[in-house]
């Protein structure tokens, strides 16, 4: 039996596992997957915003060395995107977006000075190894042995809306 290949966007080898934190009031000093302490890592995230806006956003994520995973904060990314698109194209605010992977730092710096075509950028993008669904947290409190904690509903975006 042959393994089917996962479709890739970027041409470089995949890096990092990725998760998105939808809770503006929660941070991760410990990894939600392995419980080790997290640090920070500043990486240019490659984001595609519908219908035709590829963006490389230099963003500081929480990083777990043991899991090799990045955790980005959804409300911070949406705030940065809203601020950027208020000037570029206000009609894009609230559109669907997808965080695809990371861009090589050198390429990101060069792109700031001399914008590149999307085909050139593809050759410098690392997809994520895996993308976890948005992180979900349970509500605090005491629960009996036969009770399960309720999952806390993440708040709606206050800026990235149509």
10-residue averages of pLDDT along the chain (162 residues):
64 91 90 92 94 92 95 95 93 94 91 79 89 85 88 91 86
pLDDT at site 5: 59
Residue 91 in any domain: the answer is: yes
Residue 109 in any domain: the answer is: yes
Residue 137 in any domain: the answer is: yes
| Tally of structural domains, the chain | 1
Residue 43 in any domain: the answer is: yes
pLDDT at site 1: 47
Instruction: Please name the residues in contact with 149: beta carbons below 8 A apart, sequence gap of 6 or more.
Output: 138, 139, 140, 141, 143
Instruction: Classify strands 12-21 and 125-131 as parallel, antiparallel or unpaired.
Output: parallel
- What gap in Å lies between CA 8 and CA 5, rounded to an integer? 9
Residue 75 in any domain: the answer is: yes
Instruction: Please name the residues in contact with 29: beta carbons below 8 A apart, sequence gap of 6 or more.
Output: 37, 38
pLDDT at site 12: 87
Residue 4 in any domain: the answer is: no
CB 103 within 8 A of CB 128: no
| Residue-range definition of the domain harbouring residue 74 | 12-152
pLDDT at site 62: 95
pTM of the complete model: 0.87
CB 19 within 8 A of CB 137: no
């Amino acid at each position: 039996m042959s393994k089917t290949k996962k479709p890739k966007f970027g041409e470089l080898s995949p890096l990092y596992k990725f998760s998105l934190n939808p809770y503006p009031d929660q941070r991760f000093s410990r990894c939600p997957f392995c419980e080790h302490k997290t640090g920070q890592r500043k990486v240019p995230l490659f984001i595609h915003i519908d219908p035709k806006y590829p963006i490389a956003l230099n963003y500081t994520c929480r990083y777990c060395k043991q899991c090799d995973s990045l955790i980005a904060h959804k409300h911070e990314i949406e705030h940065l995107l809203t601020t950027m698109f208020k000037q570029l194209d206000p009609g894009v605010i609230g559109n669907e977006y997808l965080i695809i992977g990371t861009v090589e730092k050198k390429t990101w710096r060069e792109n700031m000075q001399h914008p590149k075509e999307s085909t050139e950028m593809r050759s410098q993008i690392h997809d994520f190894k895996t993308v976890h669904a948005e992180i979900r947290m349970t509500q605090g409190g005491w629960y009996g042995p036969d009770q399960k904690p309720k999952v806390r509903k993440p708040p709606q975006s206050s800026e990235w809306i149509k």
